[in-house]
Structure 1
Amino acid sequence: MDKDKRGYIRYLHNTLGKSISAIARELGIARQTVRRALNEQTNRAKNQRPSKLDPYKKEIKRLLEANPNITNVLILEKIRQLGYEGGRSILGDYLRKLRPKVRESYLPIETMPGEQAQVDWAYAGEIAVGEHKRKLYIFCMILSYSRHFYFEPTVSMKQDIFLACHINAFRFFGGVPKNIVYDNLKSVVLSRLGNDIHYNPSMLDFAAYYGFKLKVCNPRAPHEKGKVERIIAYITNNFMQKEEYHDFKHIRSEALLWLKNTACKRKHSTTGKVPIEEFEKKEKAFLLKLPQKAYDYAAPKVIHPQKDGLFRFDANRYSVP
């Protein structure tokens, strides 16, 4: 029986004074059903026992009106002086209902041209690579001033791929931002205890080679890299939904075309400007120069053949030459 019907039964009985038999005939239901609906109301009333806090609610409201920032602990202390013997949790539940809910808000952080980029990964489902299905990821780097960005699909988030994506982004921009902001990715941070950060040595070496500084967000603070979060949502909701990509080769080629012909030429919703135009006019000249030779990120790995004489690498098997 739905809530509206139970309410109507109680209305007929309590307000209009109709008998259980009369209600049953009028609604075409069993008398036992009518009794059950009325008993539910009685049982709920029995369960709603007076709270130990009830005599003190008027005083609590007065304290909040006098000082909206008064702490729960201080309120508890004051009502205990008046005789309250209940617990802290009852008071806390009641105060949560009284206090206005405050949404966290953040001031937008704007930076100077060439000063900062933000980087992150996103999982994007699966894609065909040859005869196999592989997990698909999106690497993204966005320049904080112009909102000009680079992204590329990958099938791995390993360290060498991570560094290769950076190099591709630097080439795309024609330079290197002075600071790059990351989440606490294992590719960047091996461990962290508060502000004591143990960086990944290979990432430190890479940053030193290109001359940029590593910046990592505070834990559980995604707003500190909000620009890359939003651009990933833009990629996911636009490029990834544009069409069905046949395989990894197809999505890679389409990604670069969409990036150059569509994404970089759109008017940005926050700045109201076209990112590629802002980049060319005001930011590109402030990027650090690229070194003559790209960083050697190759990580040689010894692979031994399995019992069937085949090598296994990145979920694929290869025969011994």
Structure 2
Amino acid sequence: MSDQQAIQALAAKGFSLRWISRELNINRRTVARYAAAPAAKCTTEPGKVTAGSGVAETSKCTTPEGKVTAGSGAAETSKCTTPEGKVTAGSRSSCALHTGVIEAMAADGLTAQRIWADLRAVHGFEGSYEAVKRFVNRLKARTPQRVWRVESQPGEEVQVDFMQGPMVVAADGKRRRTWILRMVLSFSRKGYSEAVFRQDSESFLRALENGLRNFGGSTHLLDLDNLKAGVLKADWTDPEFNPKFAAFCRHYGITPMPCRPYHPQHKGKVERSVAYVRSSALQGRTFESLADLNRHLLHWEETVADTRIHGTTRRQVGAMFEEERPHLQELPPSLFPAYQEAQRVVHRDGFVEVAKAYYEAPPEWIGRKVWVQWDGRRVAVLNDRQECLVAHVALEPGQFTRTRDVRAPAPPDPALFLDGQFTRTRDVRGLDGGIDFNIRRWSRKAATLGPAAAQWAALLVERRGAEALRSIMGLCGLARTHRAAHIDAACAKALASAGADTALRLKDIRHLLRAGSSAPSQTQMPFMDEHPVIRGLAHYARFVSLHAGAADPSSTTDNHEHTSQHQDTSPFPAPQRPDPQP
């Protein structure tokens, strides 16, 4: 049963057009067209051409009303059934008069759009483009073009292609589109996949380089699309390559071979592999970051793709790759130095902006122009003579650097290292690493001035907490105008005069430094426990106890006796005063 008969039979039984379209996998408008019109019968004489072929005088069609009409004059609603079971329109194609011309132009490889334009310009054709396209498609269906299979030798060719990757969903819910570069060795079908956020030259070349490093060698040929990161002007005979991509190929000894546009069969191995990656490795999975996605792709490649039996070679991919590995070219000892270059002005805060991240430059270059070279791994700041001033590791957008001059193997001040972190510079807030980190950092820097300065800073932190940070920074700043020994001596004097409740102030240190050696030191006078002029504490204790007893109302002693007793026995003997000197 043909599709047309199935549509009409199901429609007659009351099934909906949507259900018929879904079950037969046919467009719903096509289902509606065939379900509305009953099937027409066509009777043709044996060996004759049916209606619509261009010679319709001998063909006869039976319309739904039962009338027999010739193919050339059949109504639009009449249908003809050919011996092969195909239903064709009873009307004649408007391209039939130009069949020979169309066949010749189609044989030359011209598209239906070009054929339609030439017919209108040269032959006065008045039909539509859709009519020409249908006619050309029927010609191609009668004469399909053969596709030649191309097999490669070990280590000869690698095919690459970009595919749209999954969305990366961060913890905050932000979604970002990814692209996956797929590389396939033509002999063994060994693959490599890497996800990137952009298809620019830097991402493309770094992903290619990572793939070659993963294979352990490079091939002689590289088949690719005409993407702008590799090919500036597409031309199958004489393409114009991107200068960076051409230098990359020379670095690894590879010959690039761009394919014709709209000819995916020219790199069919990677085209089929793209669909395999999408269905096997990515479908139904979500990832939190680009690194998470790349780790999954690498694990999937090792555990699934390399262990499968390939449908064409009927061999395990990993085993064939071990056979191909010795035929790969040796990799160069260094990576390809692909970078971007531009001029920047050092901002007032000492940073330059590169790819939305901020990198510190030497302070003497503030307000001046510098050259910046960057790639996916490294950012270098250079002067006009292309000498490296400072280098940084590439950061994510919005981040700031902590710099370390690449020319100096280690900073001279040991206080700049704390807990294994380099702390020479500050960020845009004036602090670097948090309050606790900076208190420990500046306290250690104050300790380089002397032991008294270290003790003064520690006592200040103990009494004032985080408020002491700026005072300690000010103490260290005094080293610009005073010697460390003088600062330490001033701190010793301040500690000597400080009591348990005395507030430590930086202005006291400044006052002592201004006074210099003339600053007086407080004399410590010891307290005396006994002296002939001063009564002992025992006498006062007896006095307090006697008066406390006299104040008790329950006492039975009369006032006279108490008074006389008090007068007779004094708890305080007369002090012995020293004799006057003659």
Task: Give, in angstroms, the shift of residue 303 of structure 1.
Answer: 6.8
- The 8 Å contact of residues 236 and 258 in structure 2, kept in 1 or not, is answered as no
Structure 2: stretches of 5+ with no match in the other structure: 1-10, 12-31, 40-63, 67-74, 79-88, 107-123, 358-395, 401-426, 429-582
Partner of 1:294: 335
1:24-35 → structure 2 map (5 Å cutoff)? none
Name the CA distance, whole Å, in 1 between partners of 2:182 and 2:325: 18
Q: Provide the secondary structure at the position in 2 that maps to 1:196.
A: coil
Partner of 1:215: 257
- The 8 Å contact of residues 344 and 352 in structure 2, kept in 1 or not, is answered as no
CA gap 1:116/1:318 in 2 versus in 1, 3 angstroms: same
CA gap 1:194/1:152 in 2 versus in 1, 3 angstroms: closer
Structure 1 stretch 297-306 or stretch 200-209: which is displaced more? Answer: 297-306
Q: Which amino acid aligns with 1:263?
A: A
1:247 aligns with 2:289: yes
Name the CA distance, whole Å, in 2 between partners of 1:192 and 1:178: 21
Partner of 1:33: none
1:93-242 → structure 2 map (5 Å cutoff)? 100-128=141-169, 131=172, 132-193=174-235, 195-241=237-283
Which structure has the larger Rg? 2
Structure 1: stretches of 5+ with no match in the other structure: 16-41, 74-85
1:256 aligns with 2:301: no
CA gap 1:262/1:305 in 2 versus in 1, 3 angstroms: farther
Q: Which amino acid aligns with 2:290?
A: F
Partner of 1:268: 310
Task: Give, in angstroms, the shift of residue 225 of structure 1.
Answer: 0.7
Name the CA distance, whole Å, in 2 between partners of 1:296 and 1:44: 69
Q: Percent identity?
A: 24
CA gap 1:303/1:225 in 2 versus in 1, 3 angstroms: farther
Partner of 1:78: none
CA gap 1:286/1:89 in 2 versus in 1, 3 angstroms: same
Q: Provide the secondary structure at the position in 2 that maps to 1:266.
A: coil
Partner of 1:285: 326
Name the CA distance, whole Å, in 1 between partners of 2:318 and 2:140: 47
CA gap 1:49/1:160 in 2 versus in 1, 3 angstroms: closer
- The 8 Å contact of residues 128 and 248 in structure 1, kept in 2 or not, is answered as no
Q: Which amino acid aligns with 2:253?
A: G
Q: Provide the secondary structure at the position in 1 that maps to 2:334.
A: coil
- The 8 Å contact of residues 123 and 138 in structure 1, kept in 2 or not, is answered as yes
Name the CA distance, whole Å, in 1 between partners of 2:313 and 2:244: 35
Name the CA distance, whole Å, in 1 between partners of 2:205 and 2:273: 20
CA gap 1:72/1:220 in 2 versus in 1, 3 angstroms: closer
TM-score, length of structure 1 as denominator length: 0.68
Name the CA distance, whole Å, in 2 between partners of 1:250 and 1:169: 18
CA gap 1:305/1:108 in 2 versus in 1, 3 angstroms: farther
CA gap 1:133/1:272 in 2 versus in 1, 3 angstroms: same
Q: Which amino acid aligns with 1:288?
A: Q
Structure 1 stretch 149-158 or stretch 297-306: which is displaced more? Answer: 297-306
Task: Give, in angstroms, the shift of residue 168 of structure 1.
Answer: 1.0
Task: Give, in angstroms, the shift of residue 117 of structure 1.
Answer: 0.4
Name the CA distance, whole Å, in 1 between partners of 2:135 and 2:282: 46
Task: Give, in angstroms, the shift of residue 293 of structure 1.
Answer: 1.4
CA gap 1:120/1:44 in 2 versus in 1, 3 angstroms: closer
CA gap 1:146/1:50 in 2 versus in 1, 3 angstroms: closer
Task: Give, in angstroms, the shift of residue 107 of structure 1.
Answer: 1.4
- The 8 Å contact of residues 265 and 274 in structure 1, kept in 2 or not, is answered as yes
Q: Structure 1, residues 190-224: CA drift from partner, whole Å, max 9, x if none? A: 11345231111101111111111111112221111
Select the structure that is richer in helix: 1
Q: Provide the secondary structure at the position in 2 that maps to 1:265.
A: coil
Task: Give, in angstroms, the shift of residue 97 of structure 1.
Answer: 5.7
Q: Provide the secondary structure at the position in 1 that maps to 2:218.
A: coil
1:70-81 → structure 2 map (5 Å cutoff)? 71=104
Match of 2:356 among 313, 317, 321: 313
Name the CA distance, whole Å, in 2 between partners of 1:155 and 1:231: 21
Q: Provide the secondary structure at the position in 1 that maps to 2:204.
A: helix
- The 8 Å contact of residues 129 and 248 in structure 1, kept in 2 or not, is answered as no
CA gap 1:223/1:174 in 2 versus in 1, 3 angstroms: same
Q: Which amino acid aligns with 2:145?
A: E
Q: Provide the secondary structure at the position in 1 that maps to 2:179.
A: strand
CA gap 1:265/1:242 in 2 versus in 1, 3 angstroms: farther
Q: CA RMSD in A?
A: 4.2
Q: Provide the secondary structure at the position in 1 that maps to 2:288.
A: coil
Q: Structure 1, residues 21-51: CA drift from partner, whole Å, max 9, x if none? A: xxxxxxxxxxxxxxxxxxxxx9968xx9986
Name the CA distance, whole Å, in 2 between partners of 1:213 and 1:43: 57
Partner of 1:26: none
Partner of 1:24: none
CA gap 1:195/1:318 in 2 versus in 1, 3 angstroms: same
Task: Give, in angstroms, the shift of residue 313 of structure 1.
Answer: 2.9
Name the CA distance, whole Å, in 2 between partners of 1:212 and 1:149: 18
Partner of 1:20: none
CA gap 1:180/1:304 in 2 versus in 1, 3 angstroms: same
Task: Give, in angstroms, the shift of residue 104 of structure 1.
Answer: 3.2
Q: Which amino acid aligns with 1:110?
A: E
Task: Give, in angstroms, the shift of residue 105 of structure 1.
Answer: 3.1
Task: Give, in angstroms, the shift of residue 108 of structure 1.
Answer: 1.1
Q: Which amino acid aligns with 1:114?
A: G
Name the CA distance, whole Å, in 1 between partners of 2:333 and 2:314: 36
- The 8 Å contact of residues 310 and 318 in structure 1, kept in 2 or not, is answered as no
